[in-house]
Amino acid sequence: MTTESETRETDVVVIGAGPGGYAAAFAAADQGLKAILVDAGEQPGGVCLNRGCIPSKALLHVARLINETREAGEWGVSFTKPKIDIDTLRRWKNEVIDKNASGIRQLAKSRKVELIRAWARFENSQTLILSGPEGDSADLGRIRFKRCVLAAGSRPATIPAFKIDSPRVMDSTGALELQSIPKSLLVVGGGYIGLEMGTVYAALGSEVTVVEMTDGLLPGADRDLVRVLEARLKSTFKSIHLQAKVVKMADTGDAVEVTFEPAAEGLKNPPPATQKFDRVLVSVGRTPNSQGYGLENTKVKVGPRGFVEVDNRLQTADEHIYAIGDVIGEPMLAHKASYEAKVVADVLAGKKTVLDSRAIPAIVFTDPEIAWTGITESQAKQAGRPVKVSKFPWGASGRATAMARNDGLTKVIADPETHRVLGVGIVGVGAGELIAEATLAIEMAASAHDVGLTIHPHPTLSETVGEAAEQAFGTTIHLAPPKR
């Protein structure tokens, strides 16, 4: 990355080289615009590559492998208990990151996009001041731009009471550093990041306890899907406490002592009043990065939750500044950021493009995975929208049986009159790969008939999508016919 001090002039400057930012800079360059990409991080790739999607999936891959070797004993293939060399595992995870980061650098070079390592701040609506990253105040010059795309992302949310300055208390970034494998780990928060990291540490040998304030894991996902995951997590995690909260944490030198409080009477599995854990992972959501950017020197508006406000062409209240990715709102997902990047590049190139996606898939990479796209059944219920829901349990899938993973369910949520597919939800091994077809079906306005009549290869788990769609008409071969 370049660091010399000067004032550069450019058509487009992008702040943040995450999946939103680098995609926006590359797509703008592909449309003939001069683009500069600024990121304060050591490597491009943002949270997703350096401390999010990619390292967590590398570790989840290892977790799945460990779990499969355990299960194989039941099929007559026994492995000895895995020996985990944490230094090698950490090195491998870091190599995965480095390889991808170097790919992004190459792609930037091939497009003549200048990549600058610096902290960027708005001096006014058309100038950025660059300083050294990580609090280093070195003057790295200015950038005068015609348009800027703010893709500054988000960071882990914190709760003041949990800030106890203990190396035993970590956020997702700390958990991905893989410093050690604690004997016991408390995960505070039953959202996707906590459950994914819990899955990794449980496979590596930690006794994992999850505490979640609401009455279910993964708020936002349909309950019938979550139930399947919860059934398995009950055997891989030591304990799951729902409707319970952490009220205090204290580092006692050899552990963290956690004080719990039940949030309701008569809980099925209430937490003890206090319990000691070797480590605690706090994963209670994410906060947009919109503070400390000099936005007050521009016309950009920030909403009450800290998200930068944009219109359907991703333009902020300042005509020179656009924003994409986590910093503009939910769902905070890499592919949403990249989609917005393509739209904003079109807008910057003068095209009449607007945001108009019909479905943004979401995946929880636990074991089994949960994935959904389009409308969920609970969203339809909340909105009072009538829908027809048809389900295909994986107990009836030949491929799932061959993998000894019948713990799955695929469901299609369709319009009861037109049969148009509005949403699909899947829980099961590889659900994340299967959801892509469903997203395309929604984007292409396919009906459940279209999906059911599509020939799905046998024997694959993708057949469950076709069969769930056919079940909307009671014509699924592998389920008993509906009673007439």
- Tell me how far apart the terminal alpha carbons of the chain are, to the nearest angstrom: 69
To the query of whether residue 458 is one of the catalytic residues in this protein, the response is yes
Q: Which stretch binds ligand FAD (CB under 6 A): 216-224, 331-339, 400-408, 455-463?
A: 331-339
Report the residue closest to ligand FAD, judged by CB.
153
Q: Which of 127, 206, 243, 289 binds ligand FAD (CB under 6 A)?
A: 289
Query: Residue 53 Cβ, how far from ligand FAD at the closest point, in Å?
Result: 4
Q: Which of 211, 333, 359, 422 binds ligand FAD (CB under 6 A)?
A: 333
Q: Taking CB under 6 A as the rule, which mask of x and - marks residues 144-163 in contact with ligand FAD? A: -------xxxx---------
Q: Token pair 């995946």 is at which residue?
A: 363
Reading the block at residue 201, the tokens are 């540490």
Query: Residue 314 Cβ, how far from ligand FAD at the closest point, in Å?
Result: 12
Query: Residue 104 Cβ, how far from ligand FAD at the closest point, in Å?
Result: 11
For ligand FAD, which is the closer residue by CB, 337 or 387? Answer: 337
Residues numbered 364-423 forming contacts with ligand FAD, rule: CB under 6 A: 365
- Please give the helix or strand (H or E) that residue 154 lies within, else none: strand 154-156
The C-alpha atoms of residue 467 and residue 393 are separated, in whole angstroms, by 10
Number of residues binding to ligand FAD, judged by CB under 6 A: 35
The yes or no reply on residue 199 touching ligand FAD (CB under 6 A) is no
Reading the block at residue 107, the tokens are 């792609």
Q: Which of 1, 12, 14, 19 binds ligand FAD (CB under 6 A)?
A: 19
For ligand FAD, which is the closer residue by CB, 283 or 390? Answer: 283
The C-alpha atoms of residue 346 and residue 149 are separated, in whole angstroms, by 12
For ligand FAD, which is the closer residue by CB, 171 or 463? Answer: 171
**Amino acid (one-letter) located at 18:** G
For ligand FAD, which is the closer residue by CB, 344 or 451? Answer: 344
The yes or no reply on residue 430 touching ligand FAD (CB under 6 A) is no
Residues numbered 53-112 forming contacts with ligand FAD, rule: CB under 6 A: 53, 56
The C-alpha atoms of residue 148 and residue 237 are separated, in whole angstroms, by 46
The yes or no reply on residue 129 touching ligand FAD (CB under 6 A) is no
The C-alpha atoms of residue 366 and residue 192 are separated, in whole angstroms, by 8
For ligand FAD, which is the closer residue by CB, 18 or 271? Answer: 18
The yes or no reply on residue 439 touching ligand FAD (CB under 6 A) is no
Query: For residue 107, what are the contacts with CB-CB under 8 A and spacing of at least 6?
Result: 22, 26
Whether residue 342 contacts residue 336, with contact meaning beta carbons closer than 8 Å, is answered with no
Task: Look at the alpha carbons of 229, 230, 236, 240 in this order and tell me if their dihedral is positive or negative.
Answer: positive
Reading the block at residue 362, the tokens are 């979401």
Q: In what order do the strands lie in the sheet with 421-428?
A: 362-364, 369-374, 421-428, 409-414, 388-393
Using CA atoms in the order 245, 247, 251, 256, what is the torsion angle rounded to 10 degrees? -20
Collapse the DSSP code of 159 into the 3-class scheme (helix H, G, I; strand E, B; otherwise coil) and give the result.
Answer: coil
Q: Which of 295, 332, 348, 403 binds ligand FAD (CB under 6 A)?
A: 332
Whether residue 242 contacts residue 209, with contact meaning beta carbons closer than 8 Å, is answered with no
Binding site for ligand FAD (CB under 6 A): 15-21, 38-41, 46-48, 52-53, 56, 119-120, 151-154, 172, 193, 289, 293, 325-326, 332-335, 337, 365
Residues marked as catalytic: 458
